[in-house]
């Protein structure tokens, strides 16, 4: 009986820890999304041109590396807002380009609504069913490599069909990442750092939104 009580205590402690990480993650995620919206609006107001792809990759991956290096220190939050602020700023010119279309505003709002609904739905699946989605880990690793190579090829050779496939692939990849990351927090101590969990979910939401916006634009033939 003593063993069972101890076992339950350990299980309860794990649940409390997971709930704490989830609360902190979703709280920080909400703040970073809001901050990104502010920096995107600032970029649009300033009339910033679309960021060079090389500058984007250097800035994005450099700041992401900084987040991972400082995640366990007091600088972690500052690095997180620096990264998400930069990502929002680079999103501004893209939104400005869509707003020049006759129905650009409706495309953006539709992409935002679809992104929000997808994130809430997938998070609910992971939290309510408590299914273990750790098996998606290998898929995500392989998928990331394939998508990056396909994205580079689409940029170099300017193949519209490949660009469409890349956008669709990123939608699936981002959806799987949301399920995997949420499951990692719920089921194991695989992710106890809410800063790293926030960054993973933020990148998934960012990719999901941009990819859905691209798909809507292509289907709209504008």
**Domain spans, the chain:** 2-219
What string of pLDDT tens digits covers the 222 residues of the chain? 444 554 545 455 555 666 788 888 999 999 999 999 999 999 999 999 888 888 998 999 999 999 999 998 889 999 999 999 999 999 999 999 999 988 889 999 999 999 999 999 999 998 888 888 888 888 888 888 888 888 778 777 777 777 788 888 889 999 999 998 888 887 765 557 889 999 999 999 999 999 999 888 877 765
pLDDT at 8: 46
Give the CA angle between residues 203, 205, 208 to the nearest 5°.
105
Instruction: Please give the Cα distance from 175 to 118 (Å, whole number).
Output: 8
**What pLDDT score was predicted for residue 30?**
95
Half-sphere exposure of 168 (CA within 13 A, CB side): 8
The Cα 39–Cα 36 span in angstroms is 5
């Amino acid at each position: 009986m003593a063993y069972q009580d101890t076992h339950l205590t350990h299980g309860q402690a794990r649940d409390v820890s997971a709930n704490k990480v989830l609360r902190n993650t979703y709280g920080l995620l909400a703040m970073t999304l809001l901050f990104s919206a502010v920096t995107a609006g600032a970029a649009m107001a300033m009339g910033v041109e679309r960021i060079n792809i090389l500058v984007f990759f250097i800035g994005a991956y450099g700041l992401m590396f900084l987040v991972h290096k400082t995640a366990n220190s007091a600088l972690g939050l500052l690095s997180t807002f620096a990264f998400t602020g930069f990502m929002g700023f680079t999103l501004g010119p893209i939104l400005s380009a869509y707003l020049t279309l006759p129905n650009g505003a409706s495309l953006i709002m539709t992409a935002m609504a679809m992104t929000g609904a997808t994130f809430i739905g997938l998070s609910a699946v992971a939290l309510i069913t408590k299914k273990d989605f750790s098996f998606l880990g290998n898929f995500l690793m392989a998928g990331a490599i394939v998508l990056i190579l396909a994205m580079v090829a689409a940029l170099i050779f300017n193949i519209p069909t490949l660009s469409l496939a890349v956008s669709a692939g990123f939608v699936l990849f981002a959806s799987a990442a949301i399920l995997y990351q949420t499951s990692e927090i719920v089921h194991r101590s695989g992710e106890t750092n809410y800063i790293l969990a926030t960054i993973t979910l933020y990148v998934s939401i960012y990719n999901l939104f941009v990819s859905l916006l691209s798909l809507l634009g292509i289907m709209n033939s504008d």
